[in-house]
Structure 1
Amino acid sequence: MTKLRNARAGVTALAALATLCLTGCAVGANAGNAGTAEAECPGASTPFDGLELAADVRTIDGPSTACLADTSLPIIASDEASAVPLTVTGADGVEVTVDSTERILPIDITGTIAATVFSLGLGDHVVGRDSSTGFAEASDLPEVTQEGHTLSAEAVLALDPTVVITDTTLGPRDVLAQLRDAGIPVVIVTKERSVENIGELVDQIAGALGVPERAALLKSAIDADLSSVTDPINATIPADPADRPRMIFLYVRGSANVYYLFGEESGADSLIDAVGGFDVAGEIGWEGMRPVTAEALVQAAPDVVLVMTEGLASTGGVDGLLERLPALASTPAGEHRRIVDMADTEVLGFGPRTPAVVDALARAVWAPDTVAAASAAGGTDGDAATGTADGDDGDDG
């Protein structure tokens, strides 16, 4: 596997997002719902190392949208049955006994836990979903979250789950205590999310379900897929980091006037590393997730800005974002309109689809003419737009 930044302890993007969401700011609560139609996305027929990249990726003009050519989940094949009953100690230090995995409820703020359970081949036992579980395989399941990411005890109890697997990104916490008081095993897994700790999360989820062999198979598959994506990226892009695009990840919600810059230990930094970008947040010493300032944007001087699709739409698209953040407009990314968006339920999931996410983002950054045209969220008035290389004028749409 490509050499990536080591996984770090501390506050992650998911934890910070949870804080925002629990104060009334929903992440992808609308378009992120399962079953929502996705923009047409062409297949990645040409390997990344076979693409013709711009002479200088920093001269590309126009926004682009990263999308998955195949939104289905990778599912491993295994006959291993859950070794229950079992006792496991959760990430919260609480010892939990799981007697049955017949009715599994996997929930968190990005749908990553549910995606992992499905990829382990146990999707038939899942009885419900959170509002961020946006893959088609779970589209018919009832939701147990309301008002964005508020967990409903009544909705959970109505499903009669035999085990709930979650982290601490959904709340209120009193609901989890209520479920435990009702006799439902609630296993807490890590809230850390990054490219590097996918295997750790798989182990914890599989451990709660008693399927270690399935975990080994899934981790091996993810590692192989990630290597098949990142090896060509690393072999193709400039070796000198100074020749790579300076990148930042902005979390924006125009309706709530929320603009955060994701820094080191946020998870977004590992994603930027994986797609071959230069993580500017590390250079300027920006840690965790904090409200962005004009000074930080000017100091960062990004060439490319990553955002969530729904977030970009909430600001009125690229023009709206640049109007709301004038300092961003004066950066190279603003001048070239190099805003790359990706679906809220995909970009920071850090689960079984991460290899596909990395590939899609890398193409949108390095070779935007190979991905779908920019979505309405990324355009001026809803017309499609695709970035063009070497300073050629593109349709700003």
Structure 2
Amino acid sequence: MRASRGGRPPGRGPRRSLAVLGLALALLTGACAGGSTKGPGGAEATPESASARAAAAGKQLAANTLVPLEGKAPAPELPVTVDSSDGRKVTVTDASRILPLNGGVAEIVFTLGLGDRVVGRDITATFEEAKKLPQVTKAHDVSAENVLSLRPTVVLADTDTGPKEAVDQIRDAGVPVVVLDPATKLADVTTRTTRIAEALGVPAAGKALNARMSSELAAARAGVPAGSKPKVAFLYMRGSAAVYLIGGKGSGADSLLEAAGAVDAGTDAGLDRPFTPITTEALAAAQPDVILMMTKGLESVGGLDGLLKVPGIAQTPAGMNRRVVDLEDGVLLSFGPRTPLVIDILVDRIHQG
């Protein structure tokens, strides 16, 4: 199963307003005092500060915009030759017309400050800055004709970008195609950012973005209450297609839940595959305190009330207490610059009583 992932660079107005929001949040976090606890990183945290971070993260995700690195946009230093995950060496000589064939990759390119060079988008690039760009995919299939009509100077793909014939056609037309490994866990975010930045000739910007994300993740994890370790089951559902799956080892959600101070219920129950069909037996073994879902997946089964009608759900602690957390499809497993916002929200919502 392939999980859902992730036009114009934001102007000074949105960037300034987000900076002000960040400053206000920092002041609020620093001002909160009574009843503080130490998070995993040893930083002071309070329920109030964790909730404030989650509220700010929720607003930013609702706006569906990105926050580029501060300062002047980096200037690519080219040519560069990089390793491609299809076993090739690829030389990039021009990054004036970039085409990312993956939403998560596009998020990284925009956040590096190169959004004004992006000429098209994949169907999974749903953030606001990309919406006006021409789409070059249908479902997840790439149209070589659509790609080549945009005259890209470099294409960024991943190993499951296809069909293979289309990728070959783009490469045969003389366009450098850099293939990346998919990001399936939190640790992949920095690796992917580094590789993209290197391929576009802006390695220093990649280091700066990784440092920013590392700081944001540490701040989010500091809000985990001491001694709290809820069991959370990630359910992937598409009611209209009768797809009902529970996540296990390698689902991607397991990595996020670990970072948020929780136990992945599927993995804990011995599910050693990324996804397993939901059964009453599997749910009984998992016994989640909280259920995590993608928003559209929850909607597809009729919301919380519909979810509780799925056999076995209502009998779990999560079902009995109606503890369900949902996050937007294109963000939850995007593993990119907005992932720290996901952790902010998870830390706040899964540790509530």
Q: Which TM-score band applies after superposition, normalised by the shorter structure? A: 0.7 to 0.9
Structure 2 equivalent of residue 358 of structure 1: 343
> Conserved in 1, the CA contact under 8 Å of 2:183 and 2:335?
no
Is it true that 1:86 corresponds to 2:90 in the alignment?
Answer: no
Equivalent position amino acid for 2:68 in 1: I
- Normalised to the residue count of structure 1, the TM-score between the two structures is 0.73
How far apart, CA to CA, are the structure 1 residues paired with 2:300 and 2:325? Answer: 15
Structure 2 equivalent of residue 51 of structure 1: 47
How far apart, CA to CA, are the structure 1 residues paired with 2:89 and 2:278? Answer: 40
How far apart, CA to CA, are the structure 2 residues paired with 1:315 and 1:205? Answer: 37
SS in 2 for 1:307: strand
> Conserved in 2, the CA contact under 8 Å of 1:67 and 1:342?
no
Is it true that 1:227 corresponds to 2:212 in the alignment?
Answer: no
Is it true that 1:302 corresponds to 2:288 in the alignment?
Answer: yes
How far apart, CA to CA, are the structure 1 residues paired with 2:345 and 2:182? Answer: 24
- How much does 1:292 deviate? 2.5
Is it true that 1:201 corresponds to 2:189 in the alignment?
Answer: no
Is it true that 1:171 corresponds to 2:162 in the alignment?
Answer: yes
How far apart, CA to CA, are the structure 2 residues paired with 1:291 and 1:178? Answer: 37
- How much does 1:79 deviate? 5.4
How far apart, CA to CA, are the structure 2 residues paired with 1:347 and 1:216? Answer: 23
> Conserved in 1, the CA contact under 8 Å of 2:74 and 2:114?
no
| CA RMSD across the alignment | 2.6
Of 265, 286, 289, the residue aligned with 2:275 is 289
- How much does 1:187 deviate? 0.6
How far apart, CA to CA, are the structure 1 residues paired with 2:260 and 2:101? Answer: 27
Structure 2 equivalent of residue 17 of structure 1: 2
> Conserved in 2, the CA contact under 8 Å of 1:66 and 1:341?
no
SS in 2 for 1:251: strand
Structure 1 equivalent of residue 128 of structure 2: 136
Per-residue displacement from partner, 1:239-273 (whole Å, max 9, x unpaired)?
2xxx5221011111111111122211222111011
Judging changes above 3 Å, is the alpha-carbon distance between structure 1 residues 180 and 116 closer, same or farther for their aligned structure 2 residues?
Answer: same
Structure 1 equivalent of residue 333 of structure 2: 348
Structure 2 equivalent of residue 238 of structure 1: 226
> Conserved in 2, the CA contact under 8 Å of 1:249 and 1:261?
yes
Structure 2 equivalent of residue 68 of structure 1: 58
- How much does 1:52 deviate? 6.0
> Conserved in 2, the CA contact under 8 Å of 1:66 and 1:361?
no
How far apart, CA to CA, are the structure 1 residues paired with 2:137 and 2:107? Answer: 17
How far apart, CA to CA, are the structure 1 residues paired with 2:209 and 2:281? Answer: 43
Equivalent position amino acid for 1:280 in 2: A
Per-residue displacement from partner, 1:14-47 (whole Å, max 9, x unpaired)?
xx316xxxxxxxx48xxx9x9xxxxxxx999564
- How much does 1:119 deviate? 0.9
How far apart, CA to CA, are the structure 2 residues paired with 1:280 and 1:238? Answer: 19
- Normalised to the residue count of structure 2, the TM-score between the two structures is 0.82
Equivalent position amino acid for 2:95 in 1: T
Per-residue displacement from partner, 1:68-114 (whole Å, max 9, x unpaired)?
22133231135542122222111121111212101101122xx1100
Structure 2 equivalent of residue 96 of structure 1: 90
Question: What is the number of residues matched between the two proteins?
Answer: 314
How far apart, CA to CA, are the structure 2 residues paired with 1:320 and 1:83? Answer: 54
Judging changes above 3 Å, is the alpha-carbon distance between structure 1 residues 66 and 303 closer, same or farther for their aligned structure 2 residues?
Answer: farther
How far apart, CA to CA, are the structure 2 residues paired with 1:140 and 1:188? Answer: 25
Is it true that 1:317 corresponds to 2:303 in the alignment?
Answer: yes
Of 305, 319, 324, the residue aligned with 1:339 is 324
Richer in helix (by share):
2
How far apart, CA to CA, are the structure 2 residues paired with 1:66 and 1:302? Answer: 27
How far apart, CA to CA, are the structure 2 residues paired with 1:281 and 1:102? Answer: 45
Higher RCO (C-alpha 8 Å, min separation 6)? 1
Judging changes above 3 Å, is the alpha-carbon distance between structure 1 residues 180 and 203 closer, same or farther for their aligned structure 2 residues?
Answer: same
Judging changes above 3 Å, is the alpha-carbon distance between structure 1 residues 321 and 232 closer, same or farther for their aligned structure 2 residues?
Answer: closer
> Conserved in 1, the CA contact under 8 Å of 2:287 and 2:317?
yes
- How much does 1:232 deviate? 2.7
Structure 2 equivalent of residue 114 of structure 1: 106
How far apart, CA to CA, are the structure 1 residues paired with 2:206 and 2:92? Answer: 17
Judging changes above 3 Å, is the alpha-carbon distance between structure 1 residues 312 and 190 closer, same or farther for their aligned structure 2 residues?
Answer: same
How far apart, CA to CA, are the structure 2 residues paired with 1:261 and 1:66? Answer: 29
- How much does 1:301 deviate? 0.6
Structure 1 equivalent of residue 202 of structure 2: 211
Equivalent position amino acid for 1:315 in 2: V
Structure 2 equivalent of residue 156 of structure 1: 147
Per-residue displacement from partner, 1:343-366 (whole Å, max 9, x unpaired)?
001111111111111102222223
